[in-house]
Amino acid sequence: MTTDNIRKNFPLLQQMDTIYLDNAATAQRPSCVLVAVQEFYEQKNANPLRGFYPLSLEATESYQEARKTVQEFIHAEEPEEIIFTRNTTESLNLVAYSYGLNFLKEGDEIAVTIMEHHSNLLPWQMVSRMTGAKLHYLECTSEGELTDEELQKGINERTRLVAVTQVSNVLGCVNPIQKITEMAHRVGAVVVVDGAQSVPHMPVDVQALDADFLAFSGHKLMGPMGIGCLYGKRELLEKMPPFLTGGEMIDSVYRDGAVFAPQKFEAGTVNAAGAVGLAAAIRYLQEKGFDYIQKKELELTQRAMEGLGALPYVHILGSKDPANHTGIVSFTIDGVHPHDVSEILSSDGIDVRAGHHCAQPLLEYLGVRSSTRASMMFYNTPEEIDALIESVSTIRRRMGYGE
């Protein structure tokens, strides 16, 4: 399979005249995803889960099939453990509002890593404020490692919840989720895993990880925007109250109360077309296979790290090992602000991200205010990486530094 053939599946990659290296923010979509969404609206559009007429039943069937596709993809035990949401952020807020506010109290501790995206930090700051539970930061090394010592210190008999990203959106490092769930479960804490940057790039098995919750977004794995997932263990979901209330999520409603349906977390009309598009994206990923995807992404990362790392004024954040970057290379350039770096790269037709990447505590902890991030997907090419390196190598000169 050549990259050229793969790129033909992506209409925007065919049309755009820039090099897209902001895949960690959102991926591009293959035509099969666009077609799946269009077909849903052209052929099956009715409000799912409501009507008893054939069109609505078909819409329901497609929606539930998509749930099954997600279940099998992340190896959940049952489809009922998959909740469709808008994105990772909503999934994590669901856990914070429904589990955090109801099962945590003063005297408890919430352990969060210093490298969390704001989406897996602000909800726990809110729970801490509202319940009195104490927020404890698990700090990492400058390479992004969460050492055993740090984990043992931070996950103790007071810990009731651990919030951890599987892959950092700044460093790209892969965290030892299995070890963390073992340690957390030993003290009776639940583990909330942010899978936004892992699920699109590596096989994820929630049962093998023994994660209690796992959140991810459709748009980062080439699905539509506005659809995301939350996995939760059945016994936890069963005891949690709904996050949002209203239509669709009830068995019956009385003047003074209601009995909730098992699908109590999906209030209101659902994003069935989004779920169908996400299922198409998952099938596309599965067709390519993670062996191929990981090999390609590692080659690109290696190339980027070697080329950028050879420039003495460039500093790559995180691990020295490209295998521990998940396609993410964040860097700083001596004397040049990342916003200027991204503007210059943009003027050379290269799309990257600059800023704090919604992980301000991590950057502050690492002693950098912001960074430039190039993030790759298997459809990127070695030539695109070479163009990035070439452009970066001219930046200091163009800023007047004479190199």
Report the interface residues with ligand PMP, using CB under 6 A: 24-25, 87-89, 117, 119-120, 165, 169, 194, 196-197, 217, 358
* Vertex 120: Cα angle to 114 and 250 (nearest 5): 160
Nearest approach in angstroms of CB 119 to ligand PMP is: 4
Give catalytic residues, as residue numbers: 358
In this complex, which beta carbon is closest to ligand PMP, that of residue 217 or of residue 301?
217
- Dihedral of CA atoms 300, 302, 305, 310 in degrees, nearest 10, equals -120
Q: Which is nearer to ligand PMP, 8 or 86 (CB)?
A: 86
Residue 139 and residue 365: Cα distance in Å, rounded? 9
- Nearer to ligand PMP among residue 24 and residue 189 (C-beta): 24
> Min. distance of Cβ 122 from ligand PMP in angstroms?
11
Judged by beta carbon, residue 25 or residue 244, the one nearer ligand PMP is 25
Query: From residue 290, how far is each of 106, 200, 380 by CA, in Å?
Result: 43, 9, 15
Q: Which two tokens stand for residue 237?
A: 């979901």
Alpha carbon distance 220, 224 (integer Å): 9
Which pair of structure tokens corresponds to residue 316? Answer: 């790559």
- Minimum distance from residue 390 beta carbon to ligand PMP (Å): 27
User: Which residues have a Cβ under 8 Å from the Cβ of 316 and sit 6 or more positions away?
Assistant: 305, 308, 309, 329, 330, 331
- Which residues on adjacent β-strands are paired with residue 82? 231
Q: Which amino acid is at 398?
A: R
Question: Would you state the structure tokens that stand for residue 91, as one six-digit string?
Answer: 């999934």
DSSP 267-305: -SS--HHHHHHHHHHHHHHHHH-HHHHHHHHHHHHHHHH
Least Cβ distance, residue 25 to ligand PMP (angstroms): 6
In the complex, least distance from residue 26 CB atom to ligand PMP, rounded to whole angstroms: 8
Return the number of the residue (87 or 98) whose C-beta is nearest ligand PMP. Answer: 87
Closest CA to 163 of 227, 217, 105, 93: 93
Nearest to ligand PMP of 89, 332 (CB atom): 89
Minimum distance, C-beta of residue 327 to ligand PMP, in the bound complex (Å): 12
Which residues contact residue 148 at a Cβ distance below 8 angstroms, ignoring those fewer than 6 apart?
Answer: 179
